Amino acid sequence: MKADDGVCRSCGGTDLCEVLSLGATPLANALLTESQLTFPEPCYPLELVFCRLCGLVQITETVSPADLFGEYLYFSSVSDTMVFHASKLVQRVIRERRLDGNSLAAEIASNDGYLLQAYKQAQIPIVGVEPAANIAAVARERGIPTVCDFFSFQLVDKLIDDYGRADVIHANNVLAHVPDLNGVVRGFRRFVKDSGVIIVEVPYVRDMVDGTEFDTVYHEHLCYFSITALTRLFERHGLVIHDVERLDIHGGSLRIFSGIAEYAAKPSRNVQQLLDQEAKENIDRSDFYLTFAERVETLKKELLTLLAELRSAGKTVAAYGASAKGSTLLNYFGIDSTVINFVVDRSPVKQGRYTPGTHIPIRAPEALLKERPDYVLLLTWNFEEEVLRQQEVYRQGGGKFIIPIPKLRVV
């Protein structure tokens, strides 16, 4: 099931209503080499809709996963925040689940091993599943056993044959990326031990809407979850969500703990309270999403006005973070190299390339100290504290950051 067939990716319902239209945009992580700048870029519709039957927010277009993830340029270990976030969770899981050398910890979309390395250090057996060949190779170089493939119900039997069933399955910021939601959740059900736990993190749709975080919408992110939509999805496959936590990371996320219904604990008070809260605030109804597009347009007008005023005053502007979020914002707002001189990014594999659609050159962060732009548009606003801390010298020299989301401000 996929929304570009007019049916919900989760429940198969056909009552889909439009939330936001961002037009046709290039793939957010398809950074360009200099030689590619003269060639046309493929663009795809970016339309956000809401399923009135199960409450899932989703985009309508499904781009081939091979095109999106065959070669991927996002390495989780580049972010200190992500590594610390993962390590803290792993230490907690080892303690609470009493994992040892006879256990198995698995991660779906394990990237470069940023999370599993913490289990490895604790001598817990591990396996990662990562579809991007270049990133899987880096993980293996770090000693992280990694299956280079897309996680699916069909892949599970091979994983079980080679590694056994998992005591814990992590799926951080991946469930939103999979075209076959039901197949992946069925795979969770088969792969996890009867007494095991599935820990899933997803950006929270409520925070996305409340914070006008429209830049979270790009072709890799097929779905945007509430606890209501997640509960209905997991229950369909014999899984129960027995606990949930709200996190600040990525502009607001949910961390759910799930297990096989016959063996898992009953849903906690946290789960019921959040379900009740969503019902009270109409998150499971289309009314909640009606003003989202209007607020995005207001933000667009405010940011473009600010940038025009800065240019008129002779100020120079760079950007920080050649991110997928940044690509959505730059393309939809029409901000290109005539406005932004360059983008800086810590990831060496991004440096020397150009942003998709807007063709802004990507440089190392040291360029901020060398070029001394007056302002820097923070495209990775979800890592604000980390970036501002790293760029303290630039700021002490008079440089200012423009934070576009959730509310436009200059620091």
Tens-place pLDDT, residues 126-167: 999 998 888 999 999 999 999 999 999 999 999 999 999 999
pLDDT digit string, tens, across residues 110-127: 998 889 999 999 999 999
Q: What is the DSSP track for 92-145? A: HHHHHHT--TT--EEEES-TTSTTHHHHHHTT--EEEE---HHHHHHHHHTT--
Share of the chain above pLDDT 90, in %: 84
Quick check: 230 and 256 in contact, CB under 8 A? yes
pLDDT band at 19 (very low <50, low <70, confident <90, very high): very high
Identify whether residues 151 and 124 lie together within a single domain.
yes
pLDDT reported for residue 106: 97
Instruction: Tell me if residue 59 falls in helix, strand or coil.
Output: strand
Position 79 pLDDT exceeds 90? no
195 lies in a domain? yes
Per the domain annotation, does 37 fall within a domain?
no
Higher pLDDT, 253 or 83: 253
d(CA 330, CA 379): 9
Task: Residue 306: give the domain boundaries.
Answer: 292-410
Number of structural domains (the chain) is: 2
Residue 385: CB partners within 8 Å, gap ≥ 6? 81
**Which of 255, 289, 323 corresponds to the end of one domain?**
289
Per-residue pLDDT reduced to its tens digit, 217-238:
999 899 999 999 999 999 999 9
Q: What is the CATH number of the domain that holds 388?
A: 3.40.50.720
Given a contact cutoff of 8 angstroms between Cβ atoms, the answer to whether 382 and 251 are in contact is: yes
State whether 177 and 222 are in the same domain: yes
Task: Among 230, 261, 289, give the residue marking a domain's end.
Answer: 289
What pLDDT is attached to residue 280?
A: 95
In a domain? residue 228: yes
Instruction: Examine the fold and report which residue of 239, 269, 289 is the final residue of a domain before the chain moves on.
Output: 289
For residue 406, whether the previous peptide bond is cis, meaning omega lies within 30 degrees of 0, is: yes
Residue pair 77/18 in contact (Cβ under 8 Å)? The answer is no
Q: Which pLDDT value is given to residue 265?
A: 83
pLDDT at 263: 87
Q: Please answer whether residues 16 and 5 qualify as being in contact, where contact means their C-beta atoms are separated by less than 8 angstroms.
A: no
Is residue 195 predicted with pLDDT exceeding 70? yes
Per-residue model confidence (pLDDT) at position 339: 96
Quick check: pTM over 0.85?
A: yes
